[in-house]
Amino acid sequence: MTDTPLAAIILAAGTGTRMKSDLHKVLHPLAGKPMLGHLVDAVAALGATHTVIITGAGRAQVEAFATPRGLAVAVQAEQLGTAHAVRQAETALAGFEGDVLVLYGDVPLVSSETMARMVQRLHEEDAPTVVVLGFRPAETLTYGRIVAEHGRILKMVEHKDASIEERAIDLCNSGLMAVRAADLWRLLAKVGNANAAGEYYLPDIVMLAAGEGLHSAVIETAADEVAGVNSRAELAELEAIWQKRRRGRAMADGASLTAPETVWFAADTVIGRDVTIGPNVVFGPGVTIADNVVIHAFCHIEGATVASGAIVGPYARLRPGAEIGAGAHVGNFVEIKKARLGQGAKANHLTYIGDAEVGAGTNIGAGTITCNYDGFGKYPTRIGAGAFIGSNSALVAPVTIGDGAIVAAGSVVTSDVPADALAVARGTQQNREGWAARFRARSKKD
């Protein structure tokens, strides 16, 4: 990257009617993060000092996303084309002198590396006025075309206005551009709408620059990187693209995926080295997995951290706030929420642990639950180190089980258990000799 200040304009004024949703199109999640968030984060990684989001319909939703992040919002009240949309950012960028990236909120997969290439191209020896990101799709459809020689643009034309010969060209315009701010506003002021759609097209600035004796350049990227979203089906296609890339990166970084196509990551998932992930594992947002962890099949993990050497699953659910200590075991049909399992602790079967702390080396028997909710509030359960909780026990919070204590199987514990004590909280067993035989005999007579 250069030392020149950088700004980004993200176009997000479309109505998104094909999504058939009350949620603004650019806020639909991709890998658990809004599409717009992917672009904002990529721009931030480049050190952009200004980001302006152009919106129209659904303005309130976009502002609710942008304002907490310190992003500016400008409104395109009428849909008069992409050049008109970009002009709405001029006030927000008044006084800015630097490079400007023009991006699209529904084209979320463009990487910060590709953005950096675009900006860098502005500062190379021949210093083009505009840098356009081009691609070569399998089907050119209705994309605008780029006529270029050796990377220098000779002509750009929208599909509606292209000749038969121009439509035969496979180099297409993604719509993404990099341009110096002073050039951008000057050229936008000259854009007209004498075209088939009667719109103000952003690509026209390339030919306007040529009319001033200036030249523009195109750099290319893969079609997948500039794929756009206009429907839920297209969003699913991008999700598949993103997930395939992320799986590849996880394996390249030292994780083993038994059935890669069945593992689903979130945008912020962190996976260590020598991690083994079984089939059909889903990572929601906010997950960090340390080195040497084994995650067996059919686990769902969200908002959780798993320390080195732990084993999770199969069929385990880690909910937000779950912290699994080093070498701990979380087995089949175990659910953990807002709870910490200490080093080497085990909960191997059919257990719910919520709002709890479990000490190192403690064993939680099958069928144990922490009764943490009374219909009004949540209450904590604290289990010390080296304790043993017998199967089918109910720990009614708030309650503390001391270090080394044992809770007998089938107990309903409603008060604290001292360290190294045995707690038995169940009805006294009574054996009535011969009762079963007499019962059966009576039943047959009836």
Euclidean distance between CA atoms 161 and 167, whole angstroms = 9
Distances 278 to 265, 311, 326, 334 between C-alpha atoms, Å: 13, 11, 19, 17
178 vs 7: CA distance, rounded Å: 10
Beta strand pairing call for 329-341 and 311-312: parallel
Q: Is 349 a catalytic residue?
A: yes
- Is the separation of the CB atoms in 179 and 130 below 8 Å? yes
Which residue matches tokens 């700004």? 7
Cβ burial, residue 124 (10 Å; 0-12/13-18/19+) = exposed
Give CA–CA dist 182/206, Å, rounded.
Answer: 14
Q: Which of 250, 246, 242 is nearest to 277 (CA)?
A: 250
Nearest to 330 by CA among 372, 319, 315, 321: 315
Instruction: Kindly name the residue from 123, 159, 215, 349 that is annotated as catalytic.
Output: 349
| CA distances (Å), origin 281, targets 253, 313, 315 | 18, 10, 9
CA dist., res. 274 & res. 205, Å (int) = 51
**Torsion-angle region of 169 (φ positive above 0: left; ψ -120 to 50: alpha; else: beta):** beta
How far CA 208 is from CA of 215, 219, 255, 413, in Å, comes to: 10, 19, 51, 79
Q: So which residues are the catalytic ones? A: 349
